[in-house]
Amino acid sequence: MSTGAPGTGSLPTVTMAWVVDHPAPIAARPLRRVRRPLPPVGPMDLLVEVAACGVCRTDLHLAEGDLPPRVPHCTPGHEIVGRVRAAGPAAGGFAPGDRVGAAWLAGTCEACRYCRSGRENLCPRSRYTGWDIHGGYAAHTVVDARYVYRLPEGPTDAELAPLLCAGIIGYRALERAELPPGGRLGIYGFGASAHLTAQLAIFRGATVHVLTRSAAARQLALELGAASARGAYDAPSEPLDAAILFAPVGDLVPVALAALDRGGTLSVAGIHLTDIPSLSYAQHLFQERNLRSVTSNTRADGRGYLAEVSRFRPVVQVCPYPMEEADHALADLAADRVTGVAVLTV
């Protein structure tokens, strides 16, 4: 079987890829690097040669079993930047050589009431890159062209990769928070998604207060324009009109709700959250404070976010790792040794 080395003109039928061999704590090394067959390229599919793939906390949840893999020996990774090697005949005008991005949402039924009403992120039959289909911790991957984004040529592969999940989900979380123009936004946790969302909110005219346990992350927040940066359990310097919880820590939900002004909204951005402690109606929810979850994203979110960042190029704090060190990147993420966003590069 051909591995399709660059420049040979042959298309790969197998690829080098990381797989979740046995979900377990990251210290037990649940990832293994293997040669894996590639699926055939269907009429609406693209064969993509991966150039970079962001490392997301969702990948860590998959590796450790918080999200049980939906396919055996699943390859993680859903912030994929690469070049098209082959395109199916109904692949929406994509051609070999096109620079593309594949994100978390990999497919929907396109027929249910959620899909028909523009809420495809709630489709009961939705599928996800690096969970339902093999993702980007690999040299090549096959994706549905209908769920792929065309990418500009300016930024580097490593700069673009985090935008495809960290950026897009932060965009949706900010929309769900309903921050008023010029409002005061609290951001709890300051990793990959948070540091991009803070820049978007500041660009839109918001005052941003960052609450996170990492001293390095607090320093980064101030450098990116945050009005203040304090510990995760500290009170912000002023009441908040809205807040976004990026840290997967349920204990922070009542903390963030208590920091909201009247009518404020807390948007919880993670796919996994530890248990939320008891809430006091009077302290946390009364005076029309709102608590909202965020589920995946729509393709419209992706297009909207990428269009907005084209008007202001965000600073992407990249911590690069060779693709061969994906297991080390996840271990560093688990231990909070990553400031900004880890990106696997080829």
Q: Where are the domains of the chain?
A: 14-161+316-345, 167-293
Instruction: Report CA-CA distances (Å) from 199 to 116, 162, 208, 308.
Output: 32, 14, 9, 11
What stretches of 154-239 adopt beta strand conformation (E)?
A: 184-188, 207-211, 228-230
| Neighbour tally for 231: CB within 10 Å | 12
5/221: higher pLDDT: 221
Place of tokens 């064969």: 47
Q: How far is the C-alpha of 18 from the C-alpha of 297, rounded, in Å?
A: 25
| Neighbour tally for 22: CB within 10 Å | 14
Q: pLDDT of 170-218, one tens digit each?
A: 999 999 999 999 999 999 999 889 999 999 999 999 999 999 999 999 9
Helix (H, G, I), strand (E, B) or coil at 18: strand
Q: How far is the C-alpha of 344 from the C-alpha of 346, rounded, in Å?
A: 7
| Beta-bridge mates of residue 245 | 188, 268
Is residue 6's pLDDT more than 70? no
pLDDT at 310: 87
pLDDT at 8: 41
Confidence class of residue 69 from pLDDT cuts 50, 70 and 90? Answer: confident
pLDDT at 154: 82
256/154: higher pLDDT: 256
Q: What radius of gyration do the chain's Cα atoms show?
A: 20
Is residue 333's pLDDT more than 50? yes
Contact predicate 187/164, CB 8 Å: no
* Residues 10-28, mean pLDDT to the nearest whole number: 94
**Percentage helix, strand, coil, to 5, in the chain?**
30, 25, 45
* Residues 91-101, mean pLDDT to the nearest whole number: 94
Residue-averaged pLDDT of the chain: 94
- Please tell me the pTM assigned to this model: 0.89
The CATH-assigned architecture of domain 14-161+316-345 is Alpha-Beta Complex (3.90)
Is residue 306's pLDDT more than 60? yes
The CATH-assigned architecture of domain 167-293 is 3-Layer(aba) Sandwich (3.40)
Is residue 5's pLDDT more than 60? no
Contact predicate 194/167, CB 8 Å: no
Terminal C-alpha separation, the chain: 22
- Count the residues in the chain: 346
